Amino acid sequence: MKATYQPTRKKDGMIVDQILSGGHMLINKSVQNIHEESLVQNYDLGTRLVVDDRVFRYSRAAGALIAMKAAHQSIADKGVDTHAIASAAGSYEITILDTDPHDKDYYAGGYVWIMNLTTGVYEMYRIKGSAVSAGTSILLTLEEALAVEVPASTWITAWPNIYNNVLGTTTGFMSMVVVALRPVQSGYYFWGQTWGPCFGTSMSVVPGLNSADRDVYFNSDGALMSGVDVDFGTAANPKPQRAGFIITNTTGGGDQFYMLQISP
């Protein structure tokens, strides 16, 4: 999708162009600053915003979020078992089984994996939108046309947009997708940072306190972990998600100013 520009004005009156891509601003909605939360959705979920050397994704909080702590995607991978109705090659629509009721566009911005054992062609498509579902099957509209016919009873798994239903709860079974710059209320929309200079809350040992301790990791509650706190490879403490690396010289002590590296 072609990048657009969202002009913003600093206090001194200077106009700064922010690159907006991977989505768009919704019709008749307001420009939302990276430090604002909004009960009204102003952009497509997952819209990518570049501000100087930082990258953000437009997200929706499914629970209250804490400032400068990473938040995770809360939708579990449950799969959808089988493909409900055959779809012809060239079609932009596919119907899948899903026994949960869903509002319109629940799957919009997500992905669908098609394991076509009949043709031997395995494919992955981005989902443009989805219909309202009462809890039996659901119609997905794809960004691209199906390359080959998909027979009935084909194994399919679908995932909704990873920037929807973002939570800040403690869990070891979900990966962090964004860092909130400010406290965010449940149900509100916000710009979650995914790349670039960032600040984090330290779990225990401040990152960079020890020599050669440069990489940082996410604790299960979204706080930063120093490498000293990570016991790699054991059953009790398997390797956590890497957050990035400490930017500053920490000869005189640790620091929580780091280069966030979730998604560029």
pLDDT tens digits for 160-173?
999 999 999 888 88
Residue 80 is predicted with a pLDDT of 56
Query: Has residue 45 got a pLDDT over 90?
Result: yes
The 3-state secondary structure of 83-117, one letter per residue: ECCCECCCCCEEEEECCCCECCCCCCCCEEEEEEC
Would you state the structure tokens that stand for residue 126, as one six-digit string?
């981005």
Least confident of 25-34, 69-78, 117-126: 69-78
Report the C-alpha gap between 133 and 192 in whole angstroms: 29
Residues pairing with 260 in the sheet: 196, 244
Residue 121 is predicted with a pLDDT of 82
Residues pairing with 17 in the sheet: 7
Report the percent of the chain where pLDDT is more than 70. Answer: 87
pLDDT in tens, 77-134: 555 555 667 899 999 999 888 888 889 998 999 999 998 877 788 899 999 999 998 8
Residue 230 is predicted with a pLDDT of 78
236: how many CB neighbours lie within 10 A of its CB? 5
Under DSSP, the state recorded for 245 is E
Report the C-alpha gap between 250 and 209 in whole angstroms: 7
Q: Which helix (H) or strand (E) holds 236?
A: none
- Average per-residue pLDDT for the chain: 87
What's the predicted TM-score (pTM) here? 0.88
Rounded to the nearest 10 degrees, how much is the dihedral formed by the CA atoms of 216, 207, 197, 170? 60
Report the C-alpha gap between 39 and 33 in whole angstroms: 13
Q: Which long-range contacts (CB under 8 A, 24 or more apart) does 205-208 make?
A: 205/229, 205/254, 206/253, 206/254, 206/255, 206/256, 207/246, 207/250, 207/254, 207/255, 207/256, 207/258, 208/246, 208/248, 208/250, 208/253, 208/254, 208/255
Query: Has residue 257 got a pLDDT over 70?
Result: yes
Strands, E assignment, 117-240:
121-130, 137-142, 155-159, 166-167, 176-180, 189-199, 215-218, 224-226
